[in-house]
Chains A and B, each alone.
Chain A
Amino acid sequence: MWRAWCLVGLLPILAGCGPEGGRQEITVTRTGSVDTGAPAGSMGTAERMGFRAGSGMGAVAPAGGAARYAYEAPEGWTEGAATSMRQVNFTIGDTGECYLTVLPSSGGGLLANVNRWRKQMGRDPIGDAELAALAKTTLLGHEAVAIDLDGSFSGMGTDAKEGYRMLGRLAVTENSAYFVKLTGPAALVGEQVEAFDRFSDSLREDPMAAAAAAHAAAGLPAMPSGMSGAGMGGLPPVGGFDSMDLEWNAPEGWVKAPDNAMRLVTYTVGEAECYVAVLSGPAGGVNANINRWQQQMGQPVLSELELAALPKLNVLGRESAMVEIKGEYTGMGETRDANYGMLGLVCPLEGQTLFVKMVGPAEVIAGQTDQFKAFCTSLH
């Protein structure tokens, strides 16, 4: 038996030895399709990599990578590779950094994230009252809070750095969280305040970059530059809130609430609220939205089979999945309401997605299920 062990232990130097350094002759030839790309000399290295010159203010994000946002990069900021947590990533000098993070959920809520950043700067947490008093601004079209903190900065896994300053904007919605943050030595950050504001104001979703990223993720050849995802017909553009000419029959007892720019209509029923919203494009897809609602209600995500088994309502001629969820509802500003219920419906249309969502105390929601269904099916 020991000889057997020796046999396998005597590993011959059979491990593949590739060609050593130096020179090597190319021996493989092939005829067939050749991607000649752009005419010679018409594309520089940066352009080939997908970087596009901004309006004299630096390069815009690479379309071939994971970025899906457009912005005006301030002079002197060096763009870095996007990561899973930093959709846009810059360094400023040797010690400063600024990045955008977008999360597909509320990310724990606004207050929790503000306090997380405060903790990073060695500051004490704040409460709801202080949160409400923070300066308001916008980020990617959403209402945001602005922060400006001095202190000792402890980033992820790093030792505390004294004399640092942090500028940031935070926006949290029902379905997403958006953060842009600049940190560095106080003197450096002080010189970048205006640049940070211009950069943050210029951030916007870029359907072309989003389509290119999705295209690349699907393993398809890179999209020709200049073509829109919608124009190719294969990748609908990532969209924002849309409008739609609709009518409906409001159930008895539903009170119409003031108009909201992001909703077609809002109704209140006691402490519950029901609204209709339309987003352009697939808006992430039916399943992703339903599972986002699951998480919002503190419930586990549904499997493919469970999603397929959800009841369907015929809304606007489409079979639309409807979900009823009970749990702890996490709303804006990290408000948490126990014993809440949610009725939700996602209707995929051509080039748009319609959402109907009702949230409120569980006992109210339980008594409004039939009314919710009737409301949804009355949409025309």
Chain B
Amino acid sequence: MSIKNAIRAVFLFLSSYGVSIVLLFLLLLLTLFGTLEQMHIGLHEAQKKYFESLFLVHDFFGIPVPLPGAYLLMTLLFINLLCGGILRARKEWRRPGMLIAHAGMLFMLLAGAVTYHKADSGHLTLYEGEESNEFQSYYEWEISIAEAGGGAQLIIPGDDFASLGKGESRSFYADGLPFELRLSGFEPNARPMNAPNSPDAVDGVVLVGQPRDVEAEGNVAGAYAEVVEEGSNTAQRGVLWGLAQAPWSVQAGGSTWTVDLRRKRWQLPFTVELDKFHRDLHPGTMMAANFSSDVTTTEEGVSRKVEIKMNEPLRDRGYTLFQSGWGPQDAGPNERLFSTFSVVRNPADQWPLYACYIVTAGLVMHFLQKLIAHIRLQNRRYS
């Protein structure tokens, strides 16, 4: 078979209806299994396992069933739609509707891919009078290393140490850092325990792994750390925990350094200060009817007052801040309140909406063409 024929065969295969049917059927299965599994492992874990993976193993009544993940399936579906719905499809001025609809579907899949790879989301919680230029993740962790009093931090992303289970370790180094940081024994949900007799204890404290919380935000990660100074054979040992009251401080290279396991953070290009939080209650109840926040955003010395309320987020520099919560929920009158904003940075924020417009336009166009053709045919028959 010549190369040309081989390429053509592959193209015909990838653009076939059979592939479409198989892919859609598998996506349906994943949706079913993922929805059911979510009750047991939580929304965040179910999404990662079924909808953001290339491959997974589903427990079907005790039988492990390997399945392709939704990321792989939607990648193949994109190729299938591109090849079959656009490249291979007949292109006639009489039939633009289906081409447009398929283009809309491709745009929708592309929006999903861009969101998955490029979007950041987390929360920013402020008490009245507080300000911040960072928001943090609900789920992801990172380790920061900084010289006390210094400005720059070295960041170890969670993906680089989250796989280090019991007995596994990895050393991290950087230019200008007078030591190597060795991480081991990462637990996605851990509690510290006093156990002075344990061989793993650091200053009498060990980390005890806990079952993962179904509400993924409730998991608090922990790991063991060692700092080995350049030219030294001795190591300083420490415990890192997501709810520790202070970072781990070590002496190295004549300076004090802090090592901190914390929720992943992103910096905003502006500072947000919560001036006042407003809460309206349903009459006679303590249930919030609506709530809003008066904030001041400051960017390069320029401040502006903004109101953020339910369904009216703040959009600035590609970031969207939604009013998502407040507390304490049982606060009495005149008590200081905090406001929580969901923060999202997503280049494809509005793409799904545009994709829906495109698909709708294509389908309406196709429907109208079919309707007109049908009416004309009926007129010819009876004329």
Contact = CB atoms under 8 A, between A and B. Distances in A.
Interface stretch (A246-254, A261-269, A343-351, A361-369): A343-351
Interface residues on A, range: 35 or more
Contacts of A58: 194
Contacts of B285: 307-308, 312, 319, 321
Interface stretch (B103-111, B334-342, B373-381): B334-342
B208 A81 contact: yes
A31 B152 contact: yes
B171 A24 contact: yes
Contacts of A284: 330
Interface in A4-27: 4-5, 7-8, 11, 14-16, 18-19, 21-27
Nearest to B20: A4
A232 B244 CA distance: 19
A240 B320 CA distance: 43
Contacts of B35: none
Contacts of A37: 245-247, 249, 258, 260
Contact of A312 (B251, B267, B284): B284
Nearest to B126: A220
Given A32-B134, A40-B256, A236-B331, 20 more contacts: A3-B18, A4-B13, A8-B68, A8-B72, A11-B68, A14-B72, A26-B172, A27-B174, A29-B155, A32-B265, A36-B146, A37-B247, A37-B249, A38-B245, A49-B244, A82-B191, A222-B245, A285-B329, A308-B282, A312-B285
Contacts of A21: 168-170
16 contacts: A15-B53, A15-B55, A23-B170, A32-B267, A34-B144, A35-B247, A35-B260, A45-B238, A48-B245, A49-B244, A51-B192, A59-B194, A64-B243, A81-B192, A218-B125, A236-B328
3 closest Cβ contacts across the A-B interface? A37-B246, A45-B203, A81-B191
A113 to B, nearest CB: 26
B127 A234 contact: yes
Nearest to A49: B192
Contacts of A34: 144, 146, 150-151, 153, 258
B62 interface: no
A350 B334 contact: yes
Contacts of A232: 336
Interface in A273-295: 282, 284-287
A44 interface: yes
A80 to B, nearest CB: 6
B36 interface: no
A46 interface: yes
B154 A236 contact: no
A33 interface: yes
B160 interface: yes
A230 to B, nearest CB: 10
Interface string A233-246: 11110000000000
B33 interface: no
B160 A79 contact: no
A305 to B, nearest CB: 9
B162 to A, nearest CB: 8
Interface of B: 13, 16, 18-19, 21-23, 26, 53-55, 68, 72-73, 76, 123, 125, 127, 132-134, 138, 144-146, 148-157, 159-160, 163, 168-174, 177, 180, 191-195, 197, 202-205, 208, 210, 217-218, 238-239, 241, 243-251, 256, 258, 260, 262, 265, 267, 282-287, 327-338, 340
A1 interface: yes
A350 B145 CA distance: 44
Contact of B153 (A30, A65, A218, A282): A30
A303 to B, nearest CB: 11
A302 interface: no
Contacts of B154: 26, 28-29
Contact of A319 (B132, B283, B332): B283
A192 B340 CA distance: 48
A50 interface: yes
A225 interface: yes
A145 to B, nearest CB: 31
A43 interface: yes
B203 A30 contact: no
A7 B285 CA distance: 58
A107 B24 CA distance: 49
Interface of A: 1, 3-5, 7-8, 11, 14-16, 18-19, 21-41, 43-51, 58-59, 62-65, 78-82, 214, 216-220, 222, 224-225, 232-236, 282, 284-287, 304, 307-308, 312, 319, 321, 348-351
A49 B241 CA distance: 7
A26 B173 contact: yes
A64 B207 CA distance: 13
A304 B331 CA distance: 18
Contact of A43 (B16, B163, B245): B245
Contact of B332 (A39, A46, A349): A349
B191 A7 contact: no
A281 to B, nearest CB: 8
A227 B127 CA distance: 16
Contacts of A44: 203
B160 A23 contact: no
Nearest to B157: A28
Given A31-B151, A214-B328, A350-B333, A46 B244 contact: no
Given A29-B152, A32-B153, A219-B217, A1 B54 contact: no
Contacts of A25: 172-174
A33 B134 CA distance: 8
A35 B285 CA distance: 39
- Which of B217, B241, B260, B282: most chain A Cβ within 10 A? B241
Nearest to A3: B13
Contact of A26 (B16, B174, B331): B174
A286 B13 CA distance: 63
A34 B150 CA distance: 9
B330 A236 contact: yes
A222 B192 contact: no
A233 B336 contact: yes
A11 B54 contact: yes
B247 A8 contact: no
A286 B171 CA distance: 52
